[in-house]
Chain A
Amino acid sequence: MAEKKVTVKALKELRAEDGKKVIVGETTEVLESTAKILVANKSAELVTQATTQVKE
């Protein structure tokens, strides 16, 4: 099952998939389902709907 990735802008400090810190205002790429959670709890806002990456 492939899942798309989108870019979000951090509203709170995030811990990226590779473990690196994403400071407020920076962007990072996350899975679409993750972005929904982050947007819902006001940790990030959606920057682009770009859907390139897939995950098995």
Chain B
Amino acid sequence: MATERYIGGGRVFLSKWNGVTYDLEVEVGEIQNATLKISQDYADAMSKDNGIQKKVDKVAKSTNATISFTTQNVNKVNMAMAMFGADTLTETFAIGATLPDNTVATVSTIIPVINGATLSKIEAQIRIIGVNLSGSDNPVLLVHHAVITPTGDIRDFFADKHATLGFDGEILEVAAGYFKEYLIPKV
């Protein structure tokens, strides 16, 4: 029986904007929640024709849409995004050199590294593919372009439960549009 309800989860994919084009889409992974919010600002027109102010019109001034998502996949790509750094860097340590964990290398060792706060802005296209356990459609949200910022603590180094990384994305309108949601029929 088809219903119009939604309960479920899904996957979030991200294509980072490199200033010229969008990088290959990668999955954020192990999403705990993903939400879309939209707000509208209005300007009210008031009339005092009869002495008492009465609202006679209301016009939209601006629309602001944001998405938020939280992942427990604390990998290099996600952590680099949270730390405003590149996710492609490594450092090479020669034999005899002291590694970052204070051990001494006995072979030439290449270690992935994130140099924090080397990027001023993270921009990306975002795709959220929902899996609806109840209704007859699976929603797919496509955000053409968003500016992403981390939310909350980036890492609790002494976490006693699985750490999560939270992100907000402020949606920008681009030539492709603002955002759209597809309703994919379940088969």
Residues of A at the B interface (CB closer than 8 Å) are: 12-17, 21-22, 28, 30, 33-34, 37-38, 40-41, 43-44
In the complex, besides A12-B103, A16-B106, 18 extra interface pairs with C-beta distance below 8 angstroms are A12-B98, A13-B102, A13-B103, A13-B104, A14-B106, A15-B101, A15-B106, A17-B107, A22-B106, A30-B106, A33-B95, A34-B95, A34-B96, A38-B95, A38-B96, A38-B104, A41-B96, A43-B96
Pairwise interchain contact A37-B99, C-beta atoms closer than 8 A: no
- Chain B's interface size range is 10 to 19
The docked-state distance in angstroms from the alpha carbon of A38 to that of B95 is 8
Of all A-B residue pairs in the complex, the 8 with the closest CB atoms, nearest first, are A37-B96, A15-B103, A43-B104, A13-B103, A30-B106, A17-B107, A14-B104, A34-B95
Task: Scan residues 80-117 of chain B and give those whose CB is less than 8 A from a CB of chain A.
Answer: 95-96, 98-99, 101-107, 109
B102 touches A34 (CB 8 A): no
Residues of chain A within 8 A (CB-CB) of B101 are 15
Q: Give me the interface of B with A, judged by CB distance under 8 Å.
A: 95-96, 98-99, 101-107, 109
A21 touching B106 by the CB < 8 A rule?
A: no
Residues of A within 8 A of B103 (CB): 12-15, 21-22
Q: How many A-B residue pairs have CB under 8 A?
A: 44
- Chain A binding surface SS class: mixed
Contact A15 B104 (CB under 8 A): yes
A14 to B62 alpha-carbon distance, docked (Å) = 59
Q: Is the CB of B95 within 8 A of A12?
A: no
- Given the complex, which residues of A lie within 8 Å of B109, measured CB to CB? 15
CA distance A26 to B158 in the complex (A): 28
Task: Say whether B104 contacts A34, CB under 8 Å.
Answer: no
Residues of B within 8 A of A17 (CB): 106-107
Looking at B99, B103, B105, the one whose CB has the most chain A CB atoms below 10 A away is B103
Chain B residues with CB below 8 A from A38, complex form:
95-96, 104, 106
Residue of B nearest to A35 (CB): B106
B44: min CB distance to chain A, Å: 65
Chain A residues in 8 Å Cβ range of B105: 14-15
